[in-house]
Amino acid sequence: MANTETMTLNMGPQHPSTHGVLRLVVELDGEVIQSITPHIGYLHRGVEKLSEHRTYHQTLPLTDRLDYLAPMHNNLGYVLAVEKLLDLEVPERAQTIRVIMAELTRIMSHLVWLACHALDIGAMTVFIYCFREREEIMNIYEKISGARMTTNYFRIGGLSKDVYEGFEADVRKIIDTFPGFFDQYEGLLTKNTIWLNRTIGNGVISAEDAIDYGITGPALRGSGVDWDLRRDNPYSGYEKYSFKVPVGEKCDTFDRYKVRLIEMREAVKILRQALDSLKPGPILADDPQVCYPPKEAVYNTIEGLIHHFKIASEGFPAPEGEIYLGVENPKGELGYYIVSDGGTKPYRMKIRSPSFVNLQSMEKMCKGAMIADLIAVIGTLDIVLGEIDR
């Protein structure tokens, strides 16, 4: 009997497929995985601590940098949590535009997921195709907020500014063209035997285990749990739109892939409904205590300037209390837990980031599988290190 030893392989933080700076210490027997220990923290910026020293408005740009592939969603979760704390009513137009941007962001985030997932498994063309389409959405971002990734577009109480002229046409173009692109990806992957071989039966996690691990988002729905915050705990007017929540059956990578692809198609449906229901109106809540004055007032009147200065420098006091609000981020439930002591800054803010929670199921999914399976699992979990490390 030969004497065998396991090999410890240090994967990352620099590795083509660890999606940023994830470091995995993998115990290998040949190519078979015995155990995985994720090491995180290479991208830690202390967002939660920083927010304790910033007014509620000033924390907003930090949230862009959590899941930098879905910036609008992070903004959305944060502003919704603060608005709930303040009990602030947001105008309908602002809510609808928020939904449009959130669903565009969902498509964008899923495109990057599909691109990287496919590239990790070796399908290079899908990668380039997805980034080609992502460009369209980034262009809308740029026109609407001035930035392509760290958008910082939403404001507590509404939006920083109204949409640009031609916004509707741009979104309509996406609604019309994107389903065809999704068909292209499916043509390259769903009907490809190699892709099926690589994804079916890979990274299986049962519904009970998924719930026990606290997995949320498409990874949870891929395991057959029918749970989507947009439908089950609606926010920002999601209850007005009709959309399907796809669920998987076999709990494997292929089901999670299908769930995300259907989600992209459903997002297009939501976009169409939201755009049809978009009516003119105010885009910021009428609460001078909280919201910035319009720019014309700031530049042209002394009262407006004083108002702006007061909110920018001092901020606004939030009522004492604590609040938790979760939104359905493309990656799972993104929750903001804010404790207020009545001051203008949060006493404590805790971010429940979906990637962080989903990551812990990796060992469960990979034990006994091979290195190539681990790569597929990293892809299917759709982690973003900016969010894991915060």
Partner 1 sequence: MSNATLDIILLLAKIALVFFVILTMAAYLVLAERRILAWIQDRKGPNRVGPQGLLQPLADVIKMLTKEDVRPAGADKWLFYLAPAMAAIPAILTFAVIPFGAPVILFGRELPLVISDLNVGLLFFMALSSIAVYGVAIGGWASNSKYALLGSIRGLAQLISYELSMGLSLVPAVMLSRSFRLSDIVNAQAHVPFIVYQPLAFIIFLISIAAECKRIPFDLPEAEGELVAGFHTEYSGMRFGLFFVGEYINVIVLGGLAASFFLGGWHGPWLPAPVWFIVKVLAFAVFFIWMRGTLPRLRYDQLMHFGWKVLTPLALINILVTGWWLMLR
Ordered alpha helix ranges (H), 65-217? 71-86, 92-121, 124-145, 167-189, 193-199, 207-212
Specify the residue for token string 């739109």: 241
Q: Is 15 in the site for partner 1 (CB under 8 A)?
A: yes
Q: Could you give the CA distance from residue 108 to residue 95 in angstroms, rounded to a whole number?
A: 20
Sign of CA dihedral 245, 117, 181, 137: positive
Q: Is 123 in the site for partner 1 (CB under 8 A)?
A: yes
Compose the 151-190 pattern: x for residues touching partner 1 by CB under 8 A, - for all others: -------------------------------------xx-
- Which of 139, 197, 289, 300 binds partner 1 (CB under 8 A)? It is 197
Burial status of residue 27 (CB atoms within 10 A of its CB: 0-12, 13-18, 19 or more):
middle
Name which of 135 and 286 has its Cβ closer to partner 1.
135
Q: Is 81 in the site for partner 1 (CB under 8 A)?
A: no
How many Cβ atoms sit within 10 Å of the Cβ of residue 205? Answer: 22
Name which of 8 and 300 has its Cβ closer to partner 1.
8
Contact assessment for residue 355 and residue 384, using Cβ atoms and an 8 Å cutoff: yes
Specify the residue for token string 């597929």: 376
Q: Is 7 in the site for partner 1 (CB under 8 A)?
A: yes
Name which of 52 and 186 has its Cβ closer to partner 1.
186
Q: Is 192 in the site for partner 1 (CB under 8 A)?
A: yes
Window 125 to 144, contacts with partner 1 (CB under 8 A)? 125, 128-129, 132
Name which of 107 and 119 has its Cβ closer to partner 1.
119
Compose the 86-115 pattern: x for residues touching partner 1 by CB under 8 A, - for all others: ------------------------------
Collapsing DSSP states into helix, strand and coil, what is residue 137?
helix
Q: Could you give the CA distance from residue 113 to residue 255 in angstroms, rounded to a whole number?
A: 14
Q: Is 39 in the site for partner 1 (CB under 8 A)?
A: no
Contact assessment for residue 195 and residue 321, using Cβ atoms and an 8 Å cutoff: no
Window 321 to 380, contacts with partner 1 (CB under 8 A)? 370-373, 375
Q: Could you give the CA distance from residue 33 to residue 10 in angstroms, rounded to a whole number?
A: 13
- Which of 56, 113, 195, 257 binds partner 1 (CB under 8 A)? It is 195
Q: Could you give the CA distance from residue 5 to residue 7 in angstroms, rounded to a whole number?
A: 7
Q: Is 119 in the site for partner 1 (CB under 8 A)?
A: yes
Collapsing DSSP states into helix, strand and coil, what is residue 162?
coil
**Which residues in this chain contact partner 1 in the complex, by CB under 8 A?**
7, 9-10, 15-17, 31, 118-125, 128-129, 132, 188-189, 192, 194-195, 197-198, 370-373, 375
